[in-house]
Amino acid sequence: MILVTGGCGYIGSHTVVELAKAGEKELVIVDNLSNAKEEVLDRIRQIVPVRLHFYRVDIRDEEALDNVFSLNPIDTVVHFAGLKAVGESVQKPVLYYENNISGTLHLMKTMQKHGCKRMIFSSSATVYGPGNEPPYTEDMPTSATNPYGWTKVMQEQILRDAAAADPQLCVALLRYFNPIGAHESGLIGENPNGIPNNLMPYICKVAAGKLEKLHVFGNDYDTCDGTGVRDYIHVVDLAAGHVQALNYIQKHPGVLTVNLGTGRGFSVLDIVKTYEKVSGRKIPYVIDPRRPGDLPICYANADRARELLGWTAKKTLEDMCADSWRFTERNL
């Protein structure tokens, strides 16, 4: 059986749907609900028939986690649970190291105790740091510019070391680029509390009339229109990549490191224009100074995912914006 940590969250919930669509009839979810709501589980059940065994458990709680493994024959973990806000990680580094690193260590100890040998881990394009030139390939050196990014670099290292020590361990380090969009049903998506840090949730709140205007962070980068360029990937494509990665690691012990991106970059203003087109809403914006720590351009080389997993992103920028808007209209 598969355990999904952080399965009530944005990417986790979409991955649960894709796993169920791929034939998993029963799944275990562990989430402390620090950044999600339990009602997501009912939404998932409305999309796809699946039995979900939910435990409101913090993965740092070793005893509670051990109990989950004792009650369920878990052979695979898809590990999303973690804190992810870059700015907050600079303000609260200890919280981030404690939650993300200790959480992963506890999870691995519990897996080891119960003989669970497969792990898919949510890494990030952030591990390419500022020293590499895009498109990013998986063999580039890793680094980070903030505590959140360092937690990803460190967790990758921990998992590589664990796999080196145990030849039966099968690990996938999936480096996500910029996930946006929502399930086409409009039932699940991303709806952060408070003022969003990331571009798409911010645009959604402007479109819904909850925020007045978008602040575009810099228009003096060396890019097509001066605004930052990113590799935006539809969250459903990203979720499907997990199913493919799972198929792969079942046959290949060791560590698979793979980018999940489209291989194509779009600017902030590309997103604004496409969102306006598909939603019919105006997105007013002002140009602000650059956000400290932002790179001008970030996009993947997506060859390895295609070659090893047979996976490529299928959805267009229009799909991403239209699905984000549908979720916004129905839920915000």
**β-strand partners of 4:** 29, 78
The residue among 13 and 267 lying less far from ligand NAD, judged by its C-beta, is 13
The minimum distance between CB 20 and ligand NAD, in angstroms, equals: 17
The residue among 95 and 277 lying less far from ligand NAD, judged by its C-beta, is 95
Residues 284-313 that bind ligand WQD (CB under 6 A): 291, 294
Helix%, strand%, coil% for the chain, nearest 5: 40, 20, 40
Provide the strand spans (E) within the chain: 2-5, 26-30, 51-55, 76-79, 118-124, 170-176, 178-180, 214-217, 229-230, 232-234, 254-260, 266-267, 285-288, 297-298
The minimum distance between CB 8 and ligand NAD, in angstroms, equals: 5
DSSP state of 141: -
Residues 230-289 that bind ligand WQD (CB under 6 A): 230, 268
The minimum distance between CB 124 and ligand WQD, in angstroms, equals: 3
What are the φ and ψ backbone dihedral angles of 228, each rounded to 5 degrees?
A: -65, 145
CB atoms under 10 Å from CB of 165, counted, come to: 8
**β-strand partners of 210:** none
Among 113, 215, 252, 282, the residue binding ligand WQD under the rule CB under 6 A is 215
Number of residues that bind ligand WQD (CB under 6 A): 17
216 binds, among ligand NAD, ligand WQD, none (CB under 5 to 8 A by kind): ligand WQD
44 binds, among ligand NAD, ligand WQD, none (CB under 5 to 8 A by kind): none
> Binding to ligand WQD by residue 142, rule CB under 6 A?
no
- In the set 96, 128, 136, 148, the catalytic residue is 148
268 binds, among ligand WQD, ligand NAD, none (CB under 5 to 8 A by kind): ligand WQD
Residue 137 in tokens = 């390939």
19 binds, among ligand NAD, ligand WQD, none (CB under 5 to 8 A by kind): none
The residue among 192 and 218 lying less far from ligand NAD, judged by its C-beta, is 192
The residue among 239 and 322 lying less far from ligand NAD, judged by its C-beta, is 239
Cα within 13 Å of Cα(232), Cβ side: 26
Residue with the two structure tokens 């097509």? 224
Closest residue (Cβ) to ligand WQD? Answer: 228
The minimum distance between CB 107 and ligand WQD, in angstroms, equals: 18
Could you write out the three-class secondary structure of 220-253?
CCCCCCCCCEECEEEHHHHHHHHHHHHHHHHHCC
Active site residue 148: yes
Degrees (nearest 5) of the Cα angle 8, 76, 172?
90
Which residue ranges make up the site for ligand NAD (CB under 6 A)?
5-6, 8-12, 30-36, 58-60, 80-84, 99, 103, 122, 124, 176, 178-179
Residues 47-86 that bind ligand WQD (CB under 6 A): 84, 86
Provide the strand spans (E) within 126-231: 170-176, 178-180, 214-217, 229-230
The residue among 230 and 315 lying less far from ligand WQD, judged by its C-beta, is 230
Closest CA to 107 of 159, 157, 71: 159
Degrees (nearest 5) of the Cα angle 317, 48, 329?
45
215 binds, among ligand NAD, ligand WQD, none (CB under 5 to 8 A by kind): ligand WQD
**Is the Cα torsion angle 220, 221, 224, 229 positive or negative in sign?**
negative
The binding site for ligand WQD (CB under 6 A) comprises 84, 86, 124, 126, 178, 197-199, 202, 215-217, 228, 230, 268, 291, 294
Please give the positions annotated as active site. Answer: 148
